[in-house]
Amino acid sequence: GDSVTQMEGPVTLSEEAFLTINCTYTATGYPSLFWYVQYPGEGLQLLLKATKADDKGSNKGFEATYRKETTSFHLEKGSVQVSDSAVYFCALSESNFGNEKLTFGTGTRLTIIP
């Protein structure tokens, strides 16, 4: 079945540091890939997505490129801020008629210190 393997956390960085959170996936077809962010006490918010190979999703300074050859979708940001502290989830969805459910990774807790 489908699965998502995500870099284990927690990750602690200083403000303005470069961020990479690794994500690889296993899927039988051609999934769409997502990064979601969860701030303390809140639900998930879509951060970015890519629906086909070589697509780059970007939002709020975060980027991730859909790499089919390495089955990866690593999240990057050039300069993190304290406000980026949250839990980040990589996810995939394979279109299955009438049931496009999401499969999530285990999440990576990111803490940015001033």
Partner 1 sequence: GAVVSQHPSRVICKSGTSVKIECRSLDFQATTMFWYRQFPKQSLMLMATSNEGSKATYEQGVEKDKFLINHASLTLSTLTVTSAHPEDSSFYICSAREGGTLYGYTFGSGTRLTVV
CA distance 20 to 11: 10
Q: Where does this chain bind partner 1 (CB under 8 A)? A: 32, 34, 36, 41-46, 49, 51, 89, 93, 95, 98-107, 109
Q: With respect to partner 1, which residue has the nearer C-beta, 57 or 77?
A: 57
The whole-angstrom separation of Cα 2 and Cα 28 is 7
Nearer to partner 1 (CB atom), residue 26 or residue 45? 45
Nearer to partner 1, 67 or 109 (CB): 109
Please report how close the Cβ of residue 79 comes to partner 1 at its closest, in angstroms: 26
Residue 93: CB minimum distance to partner 1, A = 6
Nearer to partner 1, 27 or 102 (CB): 102
The CB density around residue 56, as the number of other CB atoms within 10 Å, is 10
What are the CA-CA distances from residue 1 to residues 24, 64, 105 (Å)?
Answer: 14, 23, 14
CB of 28 to partner 1, least distance (A): 17
DSSP codes of every residue in 83-99 = GG-EEEEEEEE---TT-
